[in-house]
Amino acid sequence: MKGSRPEPSGFKPAPKAVVGRVSLYLRQLEVYQRQGWATVSSSQLGGPLSIKNAQVRKDLAFFGQFGHPGVGYRVDDLSAAIRHILGIDHDWPLALVGLGNLGRALLKYRGFRSRGFHIVALFDNDPTKIGGRHDGLVVEPMEAFGAVVTSGKIRLAMLAVPADSAQRVADQVVAAGIRGILNFAPVPITVPPQVNLVGVDLSIPLENLAYKVQRTEDEDSCAGAIERGASATDRVR
Specify the pLDDT at position 233.
59
CA distance 114 to 116: 6
Specify the pLDDT at position 38.
96
Pick from 61, 27, 75: which is nearest to 53 by CA? 61
Q: What three-state secondary structure class fits 133?
A: strand
CA distance 102 to 107: 9
* Concatenated DSSP letters of 11-50: PPPPPHHHHHHHHHHHHHHHHHHHTT-SEE-HHHHHGGGT
Specify the pLDDT at position 237.
59
Specify the pLDDT at position 229.
61
Specify the pLDDT at position 5.
43
Fold type of domain 16-86: Arc Repressor Mutant, subunit A (1.10.10)
Q: Where are the domains of the chain?
A: 16-86, 92-199, 204-237
**Average pLDDT, consecutive stretches of 10 residues, N- to C-terminus, the chain (237 residues):** 44 85 96 96 96 95 89 95 93 96 93 91 96 94 96 96 96 96 94 94 87 85 66 59
Sign of CA dihedral 117, 21, 12, 172: negative
Fold type of domain 92-199: Rossmann fold (3.40.50)
